[in-house]
Structure 1
Amino acid sequence: MSRVVGWVRSLLAPLTRTRAFRWLGPRALPMAERLTRRLTGGRVQVSGLLVPSLTLHTVGAKSGEPRASELMYTPDGAGSAIVAGTNFARGSHPGWTHNLLAHPDAEITVRGRRYAVQATRIDTDPDAREAAWLRIERQWPGYRAYERDAGRQVRLFRLRLVRELQAGRLAARAR
C-alpha cells in the first residue's frame, strides 16, 4: 500500500503546485474537508487519503473564538508533528499560524481522536528549519516550493503532545 501511496503522491505533487490548484484548492478543499468531517465524525479527511492529516483546534488570536483548520502534517518522532503555514503559496500567513503565535496551547484531532498539543516555532533556528523542510519534502516532494512562490518565509511549527487533555479547555478559554 505504501508504494501505491508514494506513486500517487509523486504524480499529484506537481499538480498541487499549479496555478489552477492554488486557485481551486483554497476554495474547494475546506468545504470538502468540513463535509467529510461531519459525515465521518472526524475519522476521515480528504487530504488524509494521501498524506497524514489532522484538524488543528486553536483559539482565534483576535476573536478569542474556537477555530478549526485541516492541515497536512509530517510526523517528527514520538508525539510530535510538523505543520507548515504554506497557505497555498499565498503572500499572507494563514490565520491558524497567528492563532498559534498568540495561543500555543492547542488541540488536534487525528483519526477521530483529540489530543492536547503545545506549538513551538521551528523557523527561528536555521538548522532545525532546514531539517524540518527535508523531512516534510520526503513526505510530499516539492512542497517547499510554496515558500518560494509565496515570497515569504513560511512559518513552521512543531506540535508536541501534552500528556493530559483537559475537557473543554479551549471552549472555556474562549469565553
Structure 2
Amino acid sequence: MSERLRRNQLVIDEFRSAGGVVGGDFEGTPLLLLTTTGARSGESRTMPMTYLEDGARLVVFAANGGRENHPGWYYNLLADPSAQVEVGTEAYAVTAAESEGAERERLWAEQLGRMPYLADFQRRAGQRRVPVIVLTRVDS
C-alpha cells in the first residue's frame, strides 16, 4: 500500500471511529467520505475529502493536491455518478454532477474563501481546471 493510501486509510478509520471527527491536520475542517465504484476495477473506493455545503447539496473539488491529472474518484464518478457519502455519523446515497459556468465559479469562490490553499492547488495543476462536483442526496 502506498504512503498516500495508508494515510487516507488512517483518516477514514479515525473518521468512522470518532463519529465523523478527525484531528491533526484536518481538525476543524469539514470532511466527508466519498465511496465510488472504480471505473476500471468495479471495486468500491473510499476517499476522505473536504467539502462545502450548498443548501441540501454537498460540493467537492477534484484538486488532487495540485497534480496535473484529475483524481481517480473523479473518473469513477464520470463512469458512474452514483456514490455514497458519510458525513458525521450519517451515510447516504448521492448522485454526482459536474458544476459548470456561473454556478461553478460561485462554488469555487466560496470554497476559496474558506480554504485559500486551493488557489495554490489550481496554480500547480497548470492548465488543468479543477472540477467542482455537486453531490445530491438520493431519497430512499
Partner of 1:19: none
Q: Is the 8 A contact 1:108 1:117 kept in 2?
A: yes
For residues 31 and 154 of structure 1, the distance between their equivalents in structure 2, rounded to whole angstroms, comes to 24
Partner of 2:135: 159
Q: Is the 8 A contact 1:26 1:88 kept in 2?
A: no
Structure 2, gaps ≥5 residues long: none
Partner of 2:118: 143
Q: Which has the higher helix share?
A: 1
Aligned residues: 136
Partner of 1:170: none
Partner of 1:63: 41
Which 10-residue stretch deviates more, 132-141 or 100-109? 132-141
- Which secondary structure does the structure 2 equivalent of 1:143 belong to? helix
Partner of 2:65: 88
Q: Compute the TM-score of the two structures, normalised by the length of structure 1.
A: 0.70
Instruction: Let me know the Cα RMSD of the aligned residues.
Output: 2.1
Q: Is the 8 A contact 1:74 1:139 kept in 2?
A: no
Q: What do residues 30-87 of structure 1 show as CA deviations (whole Å, max 9, x unaligned)?
A: 14303414543x532346522211000111111111110001001111x201100111
Which amino acid letter does the alignment assign opposite residue 99 of structure 1?
N
For residues 72 and 132 of structure 1, the distance between their equivalents in structure 2, rounded to whole angstroms, comes to 13
Partner of 1:105: 82
Seen in structure 2, the aligned counterparts of structure 1 residues 136 and 38 have a Cα distance that, compared at 3 Å, is closer
Which amino acid letter does the alignment assign opposite residue 63 of structure 2?
T
Which amino acid letter does the alignment assign opposite residue 93 of structure 2?
A
For residues 4 and 113 of structure 2, the distance between their equivalents in structure 1, rounded to whole angstroms, comes to 24
- Which secondary structure does the structure 2 equivalent of 1:144 belong to? helix
Which amino acid letter does the alignment assign opposite residue 139 of structure 1?
R
For residues 45 and 102 of structure 1, the distance between their equivalents in structure 2, rounded to whole angstroms, comes to 30
- Which secondary structure does the structure 1 equivalent of 2:118 belong to? coil
Q: Alignment partner for residue 131 of structure 1, among 95, 106, 109? A: 106
For residues 144 and 158 of structure 1, the distance between their equivalents in structure 2, rounded to whole angstroms, comes to 19
Q: Which has the higher strand share?
A: 2
Q: Compute the TM-score of the two structures, normalised by the length of structure 2.
A: 0.86
Seen in structure 2, the aligned counterparts of structure 1 residues 145 and 160 have a Cα distance that, compared at 3 Å, is same
Q: Which has the larger radius of gyration?
A: 1
Q: Is the 8 A contact 2:20 2:32 kept in 1?
A: no
